Amino acid sequence: MAEPSPPPPPPPSNKGLRVLLAKDRAPTSPPSAPAAVSSHADRDRIIGVFRTALSRNEAPEAFALQAVQEAIKPQKQTVLVLEENQTLENALRRLLQELVSSAVQSGKGIMQYGNSLDSGESNCLITHLLDIMLYLCERGHVEGGMVFQLLEDLTDMSTIKDCKDVFGYIESKQDVLGKQELFGRGKLVMLRTCNQLLRRLSKSNDVVFCGRIIMFLAHFFPLSERSALNIKGVFNTSNETKYEKDATDGISVDFNFYQTLWSLQEHFRNPALTTTNPTKWQKFASNLTVVLSTFEAQPLSDADGKHNNLEQEEDAAFNIKYLTSSKLMGLELKDASFRRHILVQCLIFFDYLKAPGKTDKEGPSESMKEEIKSCEERVKNLLEMIPPKGKEFLQSIEHILEREKNWVWWKRDGCPAFEKQPFEKKSSQAGARKRKPRWRLGNKELAQLWKWAELNPDRGLVQICCKSLPC
């Protein structure tokens, strides 16, 4: 006999949940296929298309757009959408990495890889790839910041020696990279690339290369670029001048004057503290008076000025940080450049104190202004007396400080752009001014009065009155 069928399962109860094991679950339909995404095969195919394009010894405009259309098959004929740009960028960054790796294995510089030494032809593969991307970015076929991303990757993968060649390529394409359609998309990437490169360089061994990078940034970015400005006016408080606190044997100058002179550097290092603290200001004013009185009591002769003439020294263009040994104080007081160094610091300090603040409370007090004016006149008189060419030197310093005031006001006004758009000339019909009517007797009232006189019998009297009036 057939076995009786098992009783049906009891209906579910609302008192609790019943956990189903995997074997108890009813079979479900297979999961739907995932959305199509960019695979490694697609990336390798794009890389292959561009490797073939790099082998063509032609200008980029002859085949660049065609290569993109073949590799991506874009929705639009000449412009890529966001996802297509990302796919292309990932493939090109991978291709660039492979080219750099091949150049390293071949023992050549990365910017010489692909050149033929026998025929002397210049066909660097990496340069050719960058030219293709620069052409596509400039024409708007691909996203404008793509070429900047490739340049950043290239500098990160290169040695310092190769970075010089890479930066030479960047300098040669500066006019194209600085165009508005590219600059807006890649300025931050280029700034990051240059800053990272500067961090890798030695300030003592790679001075020329550092200068090239800084000069490029100065030409690449406009003057109104805020990223290169000290907007908040932060001082370099880490530049501390250390000097002796206790007197030593064998010094020929007053040690109190030595400490007084070098204590001024504490105020020059951070002028904001001196401005807001009346006690510090009084200390600075008294110390400065002592220094100025000493300079006035020991003027320099023309012989001292000729002996210390910096114009004849080769290192006159370098910044000087003087030694603070008390044994050198007597020699430094006879040095014209040392005195100028101290006095110019005073003028810079005074200009900062006199600069108007954002509110009236931030500026110096009236008594402080009088002391500043008195000390400033003494400093300028001393600079005129220091040979050689004291008056010419003072005029140059005043001109520089005047330009600095303009920069301060410009930053406080929000750094408005220096570039001004040209005025559009209106058409002659739309912009033509209406010609004012010319009256017979100079104005409307006199002309109407004269006309009225002609229509009245007693016009003779009226005419006489009109002729007697000034026109």
pLDDT value of position 465: 54
CB 64 within 8 A of CB 128: no
What is the C-alpha separation between 233 and 151, in angstroms, rounded?
33
Q: Is residue 461 part of a domain?
A: no
Residue 428 within any structural domain of the chain: no
Handedness of CA 360, 363, 368, 372 (dihedral sign): negative
What is the span of the domain harbouring residue 142? 39-228
Residues 124 and 264 in one domain: no
CA 227 to chain centre: 4
> Which residues 6+ apart lie within 8 Å of 353 measured at CB?
271, 274, 275, 364, 368, 372
C-alpha to C-alpha distance for 170 and 182, rounded to whole angstroms: 14
Structural domain tally of the chain?
2
Same domain assignment for residues 219 and 302: no
pLDDT at 212: 95
> In whole angstroms, what is the distance from residue 284 CA to residue 353 CA?
13
Q: Judge whether 284 and 314 are in contact, CB under 8 Å.
A: no
Residue 145: count of CB within 10 angstroms of its CB: 20
Are 341 and 391 found together in one domain? yes
Residues 214 and 74 occupy one common structural domain: yes
Query: Domain check: are 293 and 345 in the same one?
Result: yes
Q: Which helix (H) or strand (E) holds 72?
A: helix 64-72
What pLDDT, on a 0 to 100 scale, did the predictor assign at position 216?
94
314 within domain boundaries: no
Tell me whether residue 9 is in a domain.
no
422 within a domain of the structure (yes/no)? no
Q: What does pLDDT average to in each consecutive run of 10 residues of the chain (471 residues)? A: 49 43 44 48 91 90 91 85 90 94 91 68 84 93 93 95 95 92 91 94 91 93 80 84 84 84 94 88 94 94 66 51 89 92 95 72 78 95 93 95 88 80 64 64 75 66 51 49
Pairwise CA distance, residues 85 & 88, whole Å: 5
Look at residue 30 in the predicted model and tell me its pLDDT. 45
Same domain membership, residue 129 and residue 212: yes
- Tokens representing residue 462 in the block: 């009226």
Contacts of 222 (CB under 8 A, 6+ apart): 417, 418, 419
For the residues of 195-233, what is the DSSP string, one character each?
HHHHHHS-TTT-HHHHHHHHHHHHHHS-TT-GGGS-TT-
Give domain status of residue 125, yes or no: yes
Domain shared by 210 and 277, yes or no: no
What one-letter code names the amino acid at 445? Answer: E
Q: Which of 398, 413, 428 is the last residue of a domain?
A: 413
**DSSP H helix total and E strand total for the chain:** 20, 0
> Is 203 a domain residue?
yes
pLDDT digits (tens, 9 = 90+) for 123-153: 789 999 999 999 999 999 999 999 999 999 9
Same domain, residue pair 140 and 201: yes
Residue 176, C-beta contacts closer than 8 angstroms, at least 6 positions apart: 134, 138, 182
Q: What span, in angstroms and rounded, lies between the C-alpha atoms of 279 and 352?
A: 18
Query: What's residue 356's pLDDT?
Result: 66
State the pTM of this model: 0.58
Distance from C-alpha of 264 to C-alpha of 241, rounded to nearest angstrom: 10
Residue 274 lies in a domain: yes
> Among all chains, which residue has been given the structure tokens 């400065």?
288
Q: How far apart are CA 354 and CA 275, in angstroms?
A: 10
- Which helix (H) or strand (E) covers residue 345, if one does? helix 336-354
Say what the alpha-carbon torsion angle 148, 149, 153, 155 is, to the nearest 10 degrees. Answer: 20
CB 353 within 8 A of CB 275: yes
Structural element, H or E, at residue 84: helix 82-106
Spatial distance between the Cα atoms of 145 and 229, rounded to a whole number of angstroms:
24
**Residues 214, 152 within the same domain:** yes
Residue 117 pLDDT: 52
Based on the domain organization, do 359 and 402 belong to the same domain? yes
pLDDT of residue 203: 84
State the Cα–Cα distance between residues 91 and 108, nearest whole angstrom: 24
Which is nearest to 285 in space by CA: 297, 295, 275, 270? Answer: 275
| 219/261 same-domain check | no
10 Å CB burial of residue 20 (0-12, 13-18, 19+) is: exposed
Amino acid identity of 444? Answer: K
Cα 103 to chain center, whole Å?
34
The DSSP secondary structure of 290-310, one letter per residue, reads HHHHHHHHSPPPHHHHHHT-G
Instruction: Tell me the chain's radius of gyration from C-alpha atoms.
Output: 40
Structure tokens at 124: 């660097």
Amino acid at 190: M
Which two three-digit tokens encode residue 106?
């071949």
Distance CA 224, CA 220 (A): 12
Q: Is there a contact between 196 and 156 (Cβ–Cβ < 8 Å)?
A: yes
| 186 and 335 co-located in one domain | no
